[in-house]
Structure 1
Amino acid sequence: MMDHLGIQVADVAAAEDFYLSVFGPLGLREYLRYPVGSSFVVGLGGPDGQPDFWLSPAEGDETRELHIAFVAPDRAAVDAVHEAAVTAGVSVLHAPREWPEYHPGYYGVFLRDPDGHNVEAVFHGGPPAG
């Protein structure tokens, strides 16, 4: 249903560093960049090669918290995002766990990005085998 999402950030370079280092285990990478004023806009995306997550410079102060969830291929990838976040000193809102109140098998980690947004890596599969 959704084609792409763009968010405005205080510092595009810092936001890009955050998203690439923390969500790199999910295959997030830069696909497109172009200058805008004294900054730039960057299009990030996953293994499909489509830039569907865009970061651009904010024109004013951010006043709302966004929630953005990235799909993980399995629980190990969610755990890898958590590990990357801890290594980078990122604020962890909720460590990886199953969230049965959402639906059985919902496994996610919730983090705080540099602009204060609640970002998540989630796997919608079942519990681990065994």
Structure 2
Amino acid sequence: MQIHRGRLIDHIQLVVVDIAAAKRFYTAVLGVLEIPLGGEAADHVWFDELFISTASSPAAAGQLTGRVHLGFQATSRAAVDRFYAVGLEAGGRDNGKPGERSYHPGYYGAFLLDPEGNNIEAVYHGPAKASARSVVFEF
């Protein structure tokens, strides 16, 4: 088991209308980013720190989430390109083709709208740089 310290977010839940469409889309795009399906049941699926459920799931309290923007780190520009292509094939819609962005030098990203209309991004920031804030504890 690993516990990561220094992250801003521990986990996120999306509550969706169509769990099958969400599973198909996220299995495809996160698979490209080497994030496998962690588990599933009739009313939810999860991938690492991303939990996706139906409104009838006990954790959702009957409410759908509003539109969100999630950015996932990619290991290369090629992974961003694959994320975009695979996501379109899995039911996503274009929201920004792969390319450099002006956010900072080396920022290469692509944007898709998932089946629920959420803005989903893959970004490659360039060669990895060590962060003093990121610490991983392994058990």
The TM-score bracket by the shorter chain reads 0.7 to 0.9
Q: Which residue of 1 aligns with 2:46?
A: 43
Deviations 1:41-92 (A, max 9, x none): 2211xxxxxx211001122455x32001111011110011112123335311
Letter aligned with residue 103 of structure 1? H
Q: Distance in 2 between matches of 1:14 and 1:65?
A: 16
Letter aligned with residue 119 of structure 1? I
SS at match of 1:54: strand
User: Which of 71, 83, 86 is 1:84 aligned to?
Assistant: 86
Aligned partners of 2:25 and 2:91 also within 8 Å = no
User: Which of 74, 80, 91 is 2:76 aligned to?
Assistant: 74
Q: Which residue of 2 aligns with 1:54?
A: 51
Compared with structure 1, are the counterparts of its residues 80 and 66 closer, same or farther at alpha carbon in structure 2 (3 Å cutoff)? same
What is the CA distance between 1:23 and its match in structure 2? 2.7
Aligned partners of 2:24 and 2:90 also within 8 Å = no
What is the CA distance between 1:22 and its match in structure 2? 2.4
Q: Distance in 1 between matches of 2:54 and 2:84?
A: 26
Q: Distance in 2 between matches of 1:117 and 1:7?
A: 9
Q: Which residue of 2 aligns with 1:5?
A: 12
Q: Which residue of 2 aligns with 1:105?
A: 106
SS at match of 1:114: coil
Q: Distance in 2 between matches of 1:32 and 1:90?
A: 22
Q: Which residue of 2 aligns with 1:47?
A: none
SS at match of 1:29: coil
Q: Percent identity?
A: 39
What is the total number of aligned residue pairs between the two structures?
A: 114
What TM-score, normalized to structure 1? Answer: 0.79
